[in-house]
Structure 1
Amino acid sequence: MRRDNEFRYSRLAHILREQIMSGFIKPGEYLLSENELCKYYGLSRTSVRKSLEQLQKEGLIVKKVGQGTIVSPDLVISPSERRTLRILTNAPSYFVDNCLGTIIDAFQTKFPHVDVKLLTFPSWNYWDSMMTSIELGQPPDLVLMTDRHFAHPDRADSFLDLREHLDDLLGELYPRVVEPFREGNVQPAIPVTFSPVYLAYNPELFARYGVEEPRAGWTKEELIEAARKLTVDQDRDGITDLYGMSLSSFLNRWPVIALQNGVKFDESTDRSAVVDTLNFFHDVVYKQRIATLYHSSRSTSNAGAFLREKAAMVLTTSIEIAGWRNENMPFEAKVAPLPFGPVKSTLLVANTFMVHKECQDRELALAFLRTTLDHKLQTRLARETGFLSCIPEVNEAVWDATRLASLNIANRQIENGYFLHELLGDLNVLEELEAEMELYWGGLESAESFADRMIRILSNKS
C-alpha cells in the first residue's frame, strides 16, 4: 500500500503543477483548501499535504498561515517553443491512471516534437472548469469525459463533428457503443474504451465456503442462495463480516437490475417491474441481510468490501476492475452471468474523447485519436490492463467467447446494453432521481411507495 499512497500524492502534485504551469491558477491566486482537495480528488489528508509539500519545495506555492495556499507571486512561466497538445481530463479516472500514459508514449514516438499537457479537474465541476480554461484563452485540444459527463446539456455545439474526420475509425467500432454519442447527424464524441456493468465474484471465497461457482444460465434464486451461504460471521463475534454481495445505490450500477426486470425508464415502464426491482434490494439488504449497500459514487467505496474480501460478489465494470488491480487486489475476480431477471440487458459505461472547436491544433488532436484507436495499441492495453476495446476484433482476439458472453457483448448481445444518458436524459433527471431515492435506500420507504414517484419522474423527463 505504501507505493499506492506515494502514487496518489505524486499524482495530485502533478495535477496541481499542470494547473499552475498552464496559467489556470495564476501567481497570487489561492488553491482549493486541503479539505476540498481531499473531497474532490478522493485522497487522504496525508496525501494532500505531501502533494503540497512537494510543490512548496519546487517553489510553486506559498502557504499563508491561517489563510490557505497560494501560487507563488514571484513565479514566472516561460512559454515553450515546442508544439503542445492540451488534454482536459477528469479525476479520479481509472482510464487516465492505467491507459493514458501508454497512449501518450505511443503518440510521442510518432510526434517527438510535441509536448502533451494534461489539465485535470475533479468530476464534480468538470464542465465549469473547462469553460474557465477557455475564458482564460487556453482552450483544450481534446476533452476526455465519461458517458455521464456527456449528459451535460451544453455538450454538442462546442465540439467538432468527428464523423467528418474519423469516419473510417468509427466504422470499426461497435455501433451500439458509438451511436449513443451521436446527436442527429453530428458525432461530437468517440468512445475509446467501454464496459458493460457485470457481476464479478471472488472464486476463493466460493471455494472456501463450498459454494458452487456461477455458471451459464444460473437464476436469481441460485444467486440469492449463494449469497446466503457466503454471508458469514467469520470471527464469531456476533457481527456479520462477510456478505454475499456488495451493492451500490449509485445510478451507474443499480439500473442493471431494473433493466433485467424489464424496466423501460420511460413513460411505458410497467409499475410491477419497478416494484419487483425495488423489492429485490430491500429483500437482500434489509430482510435477508445477505448484501451490504454503499451509498457513495466513489469507486473506492464500492470497492471497499469486495477488495478486502468482505463481499463475495459485486456489480462492477472492466474499467473499475482494472483500477482495483492497480490497488493491489489480492485475488483474480471472475465474471458471472447476470441472473437478475428475464431480460438479458445491461448498463454500459465509457470513456470518450471530444475535440473542442476552439482547439489550437486540430491536426494533432485528430492524430492523437488515431493513435489511441490503433489496433495494436488497443490490443496491448487490453492485455496489460484488462480494459475492453471499442473494437470488436480486439476483444475477440484477447478474450475467449465464454468471457465475452458473460459480459453480454458476444455476438449481438451488446445490442441490449444502454448508457445512462440514453435511459434518463440530462443531468437534471439524474440528480432528481438520486435525491428522491434517499429514504428508499435507507430502508425508510417501501418499494410500493417509491415506485409511484419513480414512474412520475420517468414520465416527466422529456
Structure 2
Amino acid sequence: MRRDNEFRYSRLANILREQIMSGFIKPGEYLLSENELCKYYGISRTSVRKSLEQLQKEGLIVKKVGQGTIVSPDLVIPPSERRTLRILATSPSHYADLCLGHIIETFQSKFPHVDVKLLSIPSWNFWESLRASEELGRYPDLVLVTDRNFADAALTESFLDLGDHLGDLLGSLYPRVALPFRDRGVQIAVPSTFSPVYLAYNPDLFARFGVEEPADGWDKDAFVEASRRLTADLDGDGIVDTYGFSLSALFSRWPVVALQNGVKFDSFSNRDDIVRSLNFFHDVLYRERVATLSRGSRPFLHEKAAMTLTTTIEMAGWRSDQMPFESKIAPLPFGPHQSTLLVANAFMVPKESEERELALSFLRVAFDPALQRRLTEETGFLSCMPGVTEAVWDAASLSGLNISKGRIENGYFLHELFADVDTIEELGAEMELFWGGLEKAESLADRMTGILNKVPHKANPASDG
C-alpha cells in the first residue's frame, strides 16, 4: 500500500509538472485547489500535499496563504530546438497509465529527435480545458478520450478525418468498434482499446463457499441462487460481511441488465421489459438481499463481493494496484438477449495540430501488431485488432465477452443508444429513490417510458463482420 501511495503522489507531480513545463498552466496562474485535485485525480489529500511539496522544492509553484497555489511568476521555460508532440489525455485513465508509456518509448526509438509531452486533464471539464487552451493558441497534436468524452465533444469539425490518412489501419480493426467513432461519414477518432462490460467473479470465494463456478447456459435464477449462497454474515454480528454481487448504479454498468432483457432505450422500448429489468435490481438488493449497491470497486477488490460488472480496461487498472486474486469471466445471465455495453479509448487529431504528420506517425506506431500484442499480453487490455486479441485471449474468455471469429456480437456504446447525452442525466436523476428501495419498479418504468418516448428511434448498429 505504501508503494501504491508513493506512485499516486509522484504521478500527480508528473502530471502537474508537465502541465507547467508545457505552458498549459502559465506563470502566475492558479492550480486547482487541494480538494479539487483530490476529487479529479482520485487520490488522498496526503498524496496531493506531497505532490505540491515536491513541485515547490523544484521552484515550479508558490503557495499563497488563504488564496491557493500558483505557478511561480518568475518561472522561465527555455524554448526547445527539438520537435515536440503534445498528447492531451483524460484523467484518470488506466490506458494512459499502463499503455501510453510503452507506446511513447517505442515511438521515440523510431523518432529520437522528437520529445513527447503527455498532458492529463480531469475528464469532468476536459473539453472546456481544451477550448481554453486553444483560445490561448496552445493546440495538442493528439487527443486521447473515452467513448463518453467522444459523445460529449460537439467539436467534430475541429478534428481530422482519420479515414483519409489511416484507411488501411482502420481496415484492420473490429468494424463494430471503429464505426461508432464516425460522424456523417468522417472517422473522427480511432479506438486504441475497447471492452465489453462483462461479469467478473472471484473463483476463490466460489471455492470457499462451495459454490460451483458459472458455466455456459446458466441463467438469472442460477445467478441469484449462487449469489444467495455467497452472501454471509461470517462473524455472527447480524451484518452481512460478504455479498454475492456488487451492483453499480452508474449508467456505464446497470443498463447491461436492461439490454439483456430487450430494452434498447428508445421509443420502441417495451415497458414490461423495463419493469422486469428494474425488478431484478430490487430482487437482488432488497428482496433476496444478495447484492450490495456500490459506486466503486472496493467490495469486489476487498473480497466482500463475489461478482461484479466491469471491463477489461478497469480490470487492468485493478491488477496494477495489486489485486489480491485472479478473477475470471462469467457468461452474462440476466436475460434472453446476449447483449452488453461497450467502452473504449480513442485517439483524435486536431486540425490545428502543428505536428500533424508526427501525430499520424505516432498512431501507426501505436497500432503496430507486435506492439499491440505485447501490450495485450502484459496489461490484459483488448486490442482493437482481431488478430491480436484472438491470438492472446483464450476462447472461453472471449466467449464470455461476446467475441468470436473476428466479430463482436450485440455490443453498444452509450453514445449509440443515446443520441442526446442529456437523456442519460435525466434518467439517472429519476432513479435516486428507486436505488434506495423507496420506489416501485412500475412507477419508475412509467417515467422512464415517458422520457424514452421523446428519444428518436435509432437504427440498431450492425453486428461486426
2:408 maps to 1:414: yes
| Equivalent AA in structure 1 for residue 108 of structure 2 | Q
Alpha carbons of 1:396 and 1:153: their partners in 2 closer, same or farther (altered >3 Å)?
Answer: closer
* Aligned mates of 1:155, 1:69 — CA distance in 2: 32
1:446 corresponds, among 428, 440, 451, to 440
CA-CA distance at 1:118 after TM superposition: 1.0
Instruction: Write out per-residue CA displacement over residues 342-374 of structure 1, whole angstroms, 9 at most, x where no aligned residue.
Output: 001111000000000111111000011111111
| Equivalent AA in structure 2 for residue 425 of structure 1 | A
Question: 1:144·1:353 contact (CA, 8 Å) conserved in 2?
Answer: yes
Match of 1:12 in 2: 12
Match of 1:158 in 2: 158
Match of 1:73 in 2: 73
2:367 maps to 1:373: yes
| Equivalent AA in structure 2 for residue 342 of structure 1 | P
SS at match of 2:378: helix
Match of 2:397 in 1: 403
CA-CA distance at 1:28 after TM superposition: 1.4
* Aligned mates of 2:217, 2:232 — CA distance in 1: 26
CA-CA distance at 1:256 after TM superposition: 0.7
2:354 maps to 1:360: yes
CA-CA distance at 1:3 after TM superposition: 1.1
SS at match of 1:104: helix
SS at match of 1:214: coil
Match of 2:109 in 1: 109
* Aligned mates of 1:412, 1:359 — CA distance in 2: 34
| Equivalent AA in structure 1 for residue 247 of structure 2 | L
Question: 2:386·2:406 contact (CA, 8 Å) conserved in 1?
Answer: no
Question: 2:139·2:352 contact (CA, 8 Å) conserved in 1?
Answer: yes
| Equivalent AA in structure 2 for residue 253 of structure 1 | R
* Aligned mates of 1:132, 1:153 — CA distance in 2: 14
2:309 maps to 1:315: yes
* Aligned mates of 2:424, 2:352 — CA distance in 1: 29
CA-CA distance at 1:162 after TM superposition: 0.4
Question: 2:127·2:153 contact (CA, 8 Å) conserved in 1?
Answer: no
CA-CA distance at 1:415 after TM superposition: 3.1
Question: 1:194·1:348 contact (CA, 8 Å) conserved in 2?
Answer: yes
* Aligned mates of 2:407, 2:219 — CA distance in 1: 18
SS at match of 1:90: strand
* Aligned mates of 1:450, 1:306 — CA distance in 2: 28
CA-CA distance at 1:339 after TM superposition: 0.7
* Aligned mates of 1:447, 1:351 — CA distance in 2: 34
Structure 1 residue runs of 5 or longer lacking an equivalent are none
Match of 1:141 in 2: 141
Q: TM-score, normalised by structure 2?
A: 0.97
CA-CA distance at 1:459 after TM superposition: 2.0
2:88 maps to 1:94: no
| Equivalent AA in structure 1 for residue 280 of structure 2 | F
CA-CA distance at 1:426 after TM superposition: 3.0
Question: 1:152·1:426 contact (CA, 8 Å) conserved in 2?
Answer: no
SS at match of 2:347: strand
Match of 1:198 in 2: 198
SS at match of 1:191: strand
Match of 1:170 in 2: 170
Match of 1:125 in 2: 125
* Aligned mates of 2:155, 2:29 — CA distance in 1: 29
CA-CA distance at 1:411 after TM superposition: 3.3
CA-CA distance at 1:209 after TM superposition: 0.5
Question: 2:9·2:48 contact (CA, 8 Å) conserved in 1?
Answer: yes
2:334 maps to 1:340: yes
Q: What is the CA RMSD across the aligned residues, in angstroms?
A: 1.0
Q: How does 1:246-265 map to 2 (within 5 A)?
A: 246-265=246-265
Alpha carbons of 1:455 and 1:412: their partners in 2 closer, same or farther (altered >3 Å)?
Answer: farther
* Aligned mates of 2:429, 2:14 — CA distance in 1: 34
* Aligned mates of 1:51, 1:153 — CA distance in 2: 31
Count of matched residue positions in the alignment of Structure 1 and Structure 2: 456
SS at match of 1:194: strand
2:450 corresponds, among 445, 453, 456, to 456
Question: 2:373·2:392 contact (CA, 8 Å) conserved in 1?
Answer: yes
* Aligned mates of 2:183, 2:326 — CA distance in 1: 39
* Aligned mates of 1:412, 1:93 — CA distance in 2: 27
Question: 2:387·2:406 contact (CA, 8 Å) conserved in 1?
Answer: no
SS at match of 1:422: helix
| Equivalent AA in structure 1 for residue 321 of structure 2 | E
| Equivalent AA in structure 2 for residue 414 of structure 1 | I
CA-CA distance at 1:461 after TM superposition: 2.8
Greater Cα shift, 74-83 or 450-459? 450-459
2:35 maps to 1:35: yes
* Aligned mates of 1:367, 1:442 — CA distance in 2: 50
2:212 maps to 1:212: yes
Instruction: Write out per-residue CA displacement over residues 396-443 of structure 1, whole angstroms, 9 at most, x where no aligned residue.
Output: 110121111111111376131000100112321222222222121122
Structure 2 residue runs of 5 or longer lacking an equivalent are 457-465
SS at match of 1:367: helix
Match of 1:276 in 2: 276
Structure 1 residue runs of 4 or more that deviate by more than 3 Å after TM superposition: none
* Aligned mates of 1:252, 1:120 — CA distance in 2: 22
1:435 corresponds, among 426, 429, 433, to 429
